[in-house]
Amino acid sequence: MTASSHNRISNSNRRDGGWTLLELLASMTLLSLAAVAITAGSLKLSSAAGLSAARTVALRAATDARRLAYLESRWFDLEITPGMTELVVSDGLLRHDPYPLPGGVSVLSAPTRGYVRFQAGGFADNSTMVLAGRRGGTVKLVINQRGLVH
């Protein structure tokens, strides 16, 4: 056996615990795929959380409009039009502080008249509004004649 053949044999049989270039590239590819999957999942989760928060804001705005109409014995409107990023309670003369929707959420559809009117007894117009997230997804709220929001 010559010295050069001895080196070839010992180099091929030897493994120092290091990574080969192929193993390193395969590991990097798997890590990249995992990162993409996690990012996609977190975007869906953040969109769902934003829509849930927007539903809560819309429920609060409608409840406040109903409460004011009932307490003050006069009508109040919940102003909503497509494209809005905030909801506003108004009595025709005074607009109350707006209820901003979370970032990336806006009104997709609303009553054609642009508002839901809550009467003095707390009753309301039958209405439906849909809120949409920038990354997809929607949430629908229905206000019935009794002024209840579903």
Q: How far apart are CA 81 and CA 115, in angstroms?
A: 7
Q: How far apart are CA 118 and CA 146, in angstroms?
A: 9
| 5 located within any domain | no
pLDDT computed for residue 46 by the predictor: 60
| 84 located within any domain | yes
The number of domains in the chain is 1
Reply yes or no on whether the pLDDT at 139 is more than 90: yes
Q: What is the mean pLDDT of residues 7-32?
A: 69
| 58 located within any domain | yes
Is the whole model's pTM more than 0.75, yes or no?
no
Domain CATH code at residue 25: 3.55.40
* Percentage of the chain lying above the pLDDT 90 cut: 47
Type of residue numbered 64: D
For residue 34, the enclosing domain spans: 18-143
Q: Which helix (H) or strand (E) holds 35?
A: helix 21-72
| 3 located within any domain | no
9 phi, psi to nearest 5 deg: -70, -45
Exposed e or buried b for every residue in 56-72, given b needs 16+ CB within 10 A?
Answer: ebbeebbebbbebbbee
| 129 located within any domain | yes
pLDDT digits (tens, 9 = 90+) for 60-111: 999 999 999 999 999 999 999 999 999 999 998 888 889 999 988 999 999 9
pLDDT computed for residue 96 by the predictor: 86
pLDDT digits (tens, 9 = 90+) for 21-65: 887 777 888 877 777 766 665 555 566 788 999 999 999 999 999
Reply yes or no on whether the pLDDT at 118 is more than 70: yes
pLDDT computed for residue 81 by the predictor: 93
